[in-house]
Amino acid sequence: MPHLHPQATAYNRRMSLLPVSQFVGAILLPPASLAILLVAALVLHRRRPRLAMMLILLVALALYALSTPWVGGLLQKSLEIAPPLDPAALQDVDAIVVLAGGSRLDAAEYGGDTVNGFTLERLRYAVRLHRASGLPLLVTGGAPGAGRVPEGRLMQRVLEDEYGITPRWVEDAARTTWDNARLSAPLLKSANAHRIALVSHAWHLRRAVPEFEAQGLAVVPAGTQFASITLDAVSDLTPTPSGLRDSAYALHEWLGILWYKLRSLSSEGKP
């Protein structure tokens, strides 16, 4: 039996845990976590009626708060690590790196798989930076779910077909943000690109930037879709599906940051 390199063994261990971590993350986040609490309240309502009522009230309050655009904005704002990028900061940058944000499978109007809204928002901003600076683009993303075409290739297709831009590098094997950094760094360093502008949603960069810095790259955060926390109208405190979505994404990021921290601590001292 061939002997696996320690780094390969560590990578295989992480990939084997990926479905488990995704499942655990899903049940810890709303709305699944709120539904679990509600079921617990229904089970306890005869033996522990006061506890059951407290759980029901907790679920109701949490669902209301997390569904408001204002709370969703606050949670996303708590993740932002830098203001919108000053174009002058690109003068000392060697390349622009764009992180995939997901794909749409079997999009009928496009005749197959294509990028989703998140990825398209990131690509659009990256194109803006590219045209302002002339810097080369790297797109990164594999097929973490059931996608048949890696997200990196879908991003390349959109850039070429819709913007007339060919990315210099296409990384198409990454399944996680950690992979994005680990697999993109060698491509960049081989071209002597050591300082990058990292394009993603502003709420994602708190987790993404340290992963690229850990690979020996200097990173300039280039966020898009910054959150709003203003209270301009009653609608900001009115529950909406988009408010719950924003809260869920923000909580997912904080959970991911915690997971990365725990993973880092557990790997310290291991070969």
Q: What is the pLDDT of residues 207-224, one digit of tens each?
A: 999 999 999 999 999 999
pTM: 0.87
Q: pLDDT below 50 — which residues of the chain? A: 1-2, 4-12, 16, 271
Read off the tokens for 123. 């690509």
Please give the pLDDT value at position 232.
87
Distances (CA, A) of 248 to 30, 33, 63, 202, 243: 6, 11, 11, 15, 9
| Residue pair 153/170 in contact by the 8 Å Cβ criterion | yes
Residue-level pLDDT at 6:
47
Q: Which tokens hold the place of 77?
A: 């704002």
Domains recognised in the chain with CATH numbers: 6-78+234-267 (no CATH), 87-224 (3.40.50.620)
